Amino acid sequence: MAPEIKYTKADVDLAVSAAKAAFHRNSEWRLLDASARGRLLNKFADLVQRDTKYLTELESYNNGMVVNLGLYFSETNVKSIRYLASLADKIQGDTVPLDGDNFTFTLKQPVGVCGLILPWNFPILMFINKVVTALAAGCTVVVKPAEQTPLTALALAALLKEAGVPAGVVNVVNGYGPGAGTALTHHPDVAKISFTGSVEVGKLIQQAAGKVNLKRVTLELGGKSPLIIMNDADLNVAVPTAAFGVFSHQGQMCVAASRLYVQSGIYDKFVEKAVEFAKNRKVGNPADTTVDQGPQIDSEMLEKVLGYIEKGKKDGAKLLTGGKRIGKSGFYVEPTVFADVKDDMTIAKEEIFGPVQSILKFDTLEEVIDRANNTSYGLAAGIFTTNINNALQYAKHVEAGNVWVNGYGMTGQQSPFGGYKDSGVGREGGLNCVDPYLEVKAIAISLPKKF
């Protein structure tokens, strides 16, 4: 391990110095018109669209994402790039009514070299969210993909090169967290870190970011997101939506609806339908287009998920379906439903990151809002109800960065995304998504009293 760590640090040093050179005020990148930057990124979108099949398959080989889900994300990824490309020439400052005789304005400038550390669950989507936003702002970047998923970042970097992005602007270093990741978070020439992954590593990154220089930090971390089903919900929509919210991508989603609170009046009926739905999900080879659920990312995560299921049983939750590994090769887990889960059980408190639905009972909205908020996480939340007052009260009081009503997971590049509390720092997406990659300079010009 030791020589490898040394090697990756040297790689990061090389990559950062290439990114620093490409950020020089006289570099080809810095001299490019903002509109030309947008055109380059649109060309990149064309290439990602051209290579949809290849990228989708590569993502699936990398992390086991079922091909149908990959194809859905391919479409949204292209739209995402075009949205971010459109922001490149909309970065503008203000004129400022400063007291006295002067003319004062603000100039927004790219922050510098950005270190972008990616997770394994959505490698292409995360690459686009971070890299294309940084490039739209005019920054240069060094990307460190997750160890499990080294491939798609390389393919995307090759497409950025083909689109005409100058050498040194985008650098990819495949290496481990301790080694490549830490070299990046401690590098004096890196101005900003954007990270998606676990809270545990997020905390390390925030500390590291203040050790050598003062790096700006954006963190998109995990969640334990509450989804509330009220008595008046349409179960024909709520049951499948709640299932997709926790089973999609094998449950490996930061926004997974992993605390499902169901009101007492419909609890038994809901649980029965949820179990039936889970039993009908097809698990298997992710390349098969009829498959709903593929394998967990690796043996470590498989063991972690099975460990949580055992803990759920031991704590007294009612296991109604699933709970076991499927077969002996591949890391497949049965879609699992626990009912009668209590707030203090481990499966109701910790992020499982697997296909495990935990159902809890509640009586009143007042009660469930406090229970939903009784966590250090705050990424997403949902509610199913036909009562507008209940929906709005919940949306107002739940502590989460994204709230979904009568649906789950509706988001896109146009909408800000990120967490309250330990679920993160800052937001990605939305009109202001380039701001964390920019510095604001206030320029005041003194005017003569008389002319």
Active site residues: 220, 254
Among 38, 64, 70, 119, binds ligand NAP (CB under 6 A): 119
222 binds ligand NAP, rule: CB under 6 A: yes
Nearer to ligand NAP (CB atom), residue 47 or residue 348: 348
Q: Which range of residues in 63-71, 134-142, 176-184, 320-328 is near ligand NAP by CB under 6 A?
A: 176-184
Q: Which range of residues in 10-18, 43-51, 178-186, 399-407 is near ligand NAP by CB under 6 A?
A: 178-186
Q: By rule CB under 6 A, what string of x and - marks binding of each residue 236-275 to ligand NAP?
A: ------------------x---------------------
Report the nearest approach of ligand NAP to the CB of residue 14 (Å): 18
120 binds ligand NAP, rule: CB under 6 A: yes
- Closest of 108, 87, 106, 82 to residue 35, by C-alpha: 87
Q: Which range of residues in 117-125, 327-335, 338-346, 398-406 is near ligand NAP by CB under 6 A?
A: 117-125
Nearer to ligand NAP (CB atom), residue 123 or residue 138: 123
74 binds ligand NAP, rule: CB under 6 A: no
Q: Which range of residues in 192-200, 263-271, 320-328, 330-338 is near ligand NAP by CB under 6 A?
A: 192-200
205 binds ligand NAP, rule: CB under 6 A: yes
117 binds ligand NAP, rule: CB under 6 A: yes
Among 138, 197, 286, 401, binds ligand NAP (CB under 6 A): 197
Report the nearest approach of ligand NAP to the CB of residue 97 (Å): 42
Task: Read off φ and ψ for residue 210, nearest 5 degrees.
Answer: -105, 5
Nearer to ligand NAP (CB atom), residue 183 or residue 228: 183
With CB under 6 A as the rule, give the number of residues binding ligand NAP: 26
420 binds ligand NAP, rule: CB under 6 A: no
Q: Which range of residues in 173-181, 240-248, 282-290, 432-440 is near ligand NAP by CB under 6 A?
A: 173-181
**Chain residues in the site for ligand NAP (CB under 6 A):** 117-121, 144, 146-147, 176-178, 181-182, 185, 196-198, 201, 204-205, 220-222, 254, 351, 353
